[in-house]
Amino acid sequence: MEEEYKEVEQVEENKSYSDANEILTLKDELAGAKEELSSLKEELRKAKESSDNNLNKLKYMVADFDNYRKQMEKQLASKIEENKAELMLKFLNVRDDYIRALEIAKQSKAEPVVIEGLEGILKNFDYLLKSEGVIEIETVGTPFDPNVHDAIGFSYRDDQPDSTVTDEIRKGYMLDNKVLRPSLVEISKKIVKNTVNDTEKSEGRTET
């Protein structure tokens, strides 16, 4: 009976020892799992930080590219405007020559049908310029504007306010609200009278 009791105690003791070992093993595994989890969290933090940095770099690159694209589009639009302006100026020079040829034809008393045909071509020419945004600058009768007029002469007269455009030497044009070619004009100047001398002369005549 005692032997059986001892065997039972031995089994229980072995079982307790085994349970203790399992507990220690579990604790070690838990500690290892915690350490591994902490390591994974640190790696995840670093990965997130690296991802955020890369995302910020990508945002900067996209912003830089967008600015570059806008700048290139602006430069391209400006270049197109410059080329268009140069082309329209060439058309205007041709128009000036055509007007002179038309005037010569009229002075030489060419056939009316010829004059009519030439004037029809001129209308088409002007329609083409207008369709491209080229419009004439107002001149005669308007106040002188140095932004759109170039004064190349003066006319002394009292029937017009000072600095009023009295004659147009060469037509000027605007293109898309910008001066394509300024008008060459003549402007008025008031006739200045020497009233002091006139008064002295009048007084002199009274004394005599």
Strand pairing report for 183-189 and 149-156: parallel
The model's pLDDT over 64-96, given as tens digits with 9 standing for 90+, comes to 999 999 999 999 999 999 999 999 999 999 999
The model's pLDDT over 13-27, given as tens digits with 9 standing for 90+, comes to 555 656 667 777 777
- Report, as ranges of residue numbers, the positions in the chain whose pLDDT lies below 50: 8, 198-208
Burial of 165 (0-12, 13-18, 19+ CB in 10 A): buried
Instruction: State the pTM of this model.
Output: 0.62
Burial annotation 174-188 (CB, 10 A radius, 16+ → b, else e): bbeeeebbbbbbbbb
Listed in sequence order, the residues at least 6 apart from 149 whose beta carbon sits closer than 8 Å to its beta carbon are: 137, 139, 165, 172, 182, 183, 185, 187
